[in-house]
């Protein structure tokens, strides 16, 4: 007589959180993290067509960390 196969949920629940963290720690060296390319700043002379409403400009002008 063959043993019935357990549903997937019950097999997965047999793994404890500590075991899962251990599996992840062992796999981490195999995961490649791509280098993040830092975009070059855009000079203000290349920015065209930006329109800021007067109410927004006044709001920022009245905020001390932006206006001072």
pLDDT tens over the chain, length 68 residues: 566 655 555 555 688 889 989 998 898 888 888 888 888 898 888 888 878 888 888 887 777 765 45
Phi and psi at residue 42, to the nearest 5°: -90, 125
pTM of whole model > 0.85? no
**Chain centroid, CA 45 distance in Å:** 31
Selection from 42, 68, 38, 66 nearest residue 52 by Cα: 66
């Amino acid at each position: 007589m063959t043993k019935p196969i357990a549903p997937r949920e019950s097999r997965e629940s047999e793994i404890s959180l500590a075991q899962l963290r251990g599996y992840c720690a062992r796999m981490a060296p195999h995961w490649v993290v791509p280098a993040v390319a830092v975009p070059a700043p855009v000079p203000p002379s290349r920015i065209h067509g930006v329109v800021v409403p007067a109410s927004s400009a006044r709001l920022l002008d009245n905020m001390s960390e932006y206006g001072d």
